[in-house]
Structure 1
């Protein structure tokens, strides 16, 4: 497997859905399938938070969601859990600044997709040097999904990264909805990543479709 191309990855990042069982009001499998039908382009399994599954139950849910993604040809990314990602042969992993160092993760996963969260220029440059394929930038807007989230920084950091000459694929995260997604794209992001904008929606398919429309409008 060769290293993923930037142009292909930019397309994958357009509507990036992140979810685990604690985020859903409906069955996780139903939410994911509806979101795919609505137009998401990439999926990240993030089983964290109060009531999250552990061990064998987490593994089985990951496998069920991965099967759905495969049936629609949607790449399956695992948040933080490198061992799980390798066990199920996921398409990649996403790590934060508090997780294992990116260069160590790159060695473990080979040419799988590696996403890294970055909150300032130093973190971004370090992640790129360590082999990140894309950066998750945020939180763009205030969010309550992640309890330890940093202060929202708006779209200014996205603009700063692009003005500095950094051309790695970027995805914005944090408080993004269909109503505020377009400015994130115009500021320099290739796509948006969301959790509750889809997982808490009464109609996840419609929510995903509206997000996709907003992203495309910003390009």
Structure 2
């Protein structure tokens, strides 16, 4: 499986409506706190938008709703992976991405036979408080050696200036949240990411 090198992560369908039409081909909907009815509506809107623009949608955490709404890709963190019914996810034909931060988590993730592995944070990040120090580019190389041929997603503190190093270290995709959503001009920043990652498509 090949992932697009530009992996956008947003917390609402509104962001998807705003940015995916610019040429985004891989987006994760990561909503942290919302009731089920609201979540279902967000997922449905996001799915319709991604279908229209031929963008791969990945649902974070809410694998049951993803299955019920006919989505074909979910992403789970380590804690969610422990409680998720992976056999049900697979039986539904849903692909699976998993987060990792250290060697133990990587072994756990690999045992689940994921469709991609995410490693982070590569650089310091403001998104959430992390108990892990920044991983750095050498860790990307180490992880890629251990997970190949499974695609490797780098996440955490990334910006366009850091992408050359990330891809030179053999990451397959670079995930971004705040560098775009907190930017003064998210559309312009998205275009910059698309342009910067074009050579790795």
Under a length normalisation based on structure 1, what TM-score does the superposition of the two structures give? 0.81
Contact 1:92 1:109 in 2 (8 A): no
Query: How do 1:1-219 residues align onto structure 2 when only pairs under 5 Å count?
Result: 6=1, 9-10=2-3, 12=4, 14-21=5-12, 28-29=13-14, 31-48=15-32, 52-101=33-82, 105-110=85-90, 111-148=93-130, 150-164=132-146, 166-217=148-199
Distance 1:78 1:71, change over 3 A: same
Q: Aligned with 1:67: secondary structure?
A: helix
For each residue in 1:85-128, what CA deviation from the matched residue of structure 2 results, as whole angstroms up to 9, or x when unmatched? 112111211011111338x5431112311000112334223322
Distance 1:76 1:160, change over 3 A: same
Aligned-residue offset at 1:137: 0.8
Aligned residues: 199
Cα distance in structure 2, aligned partners of 1:185 and 1:216: 12
Q: Aligned with 1:101: secondary structure?
A: helix
Q: Which runs of 5+ in 1 are unaligned?
A: 1-5, 22-27
Cα distance in structure 1, aligned partners of 2:81 and 2:48: 27
Q: Which runs of 5+ in 2 are unaligned?
A: none
Cα distance in structure 2, aligned partners of 1:149 and 1:157: 16
Greater relative contact order: 1 or 2 (C-alpha under 8 angstroms, separation 6 or more)?
1
Under a length normalisation based on structure 2, what TM-score does the superposition of the two structures give? 0.88
For each residue in 1:143-163, what CA deviation from the matched residue of structure 2 results, as whole angstroms up to 9, or x when unmatched? 111234632111121111234
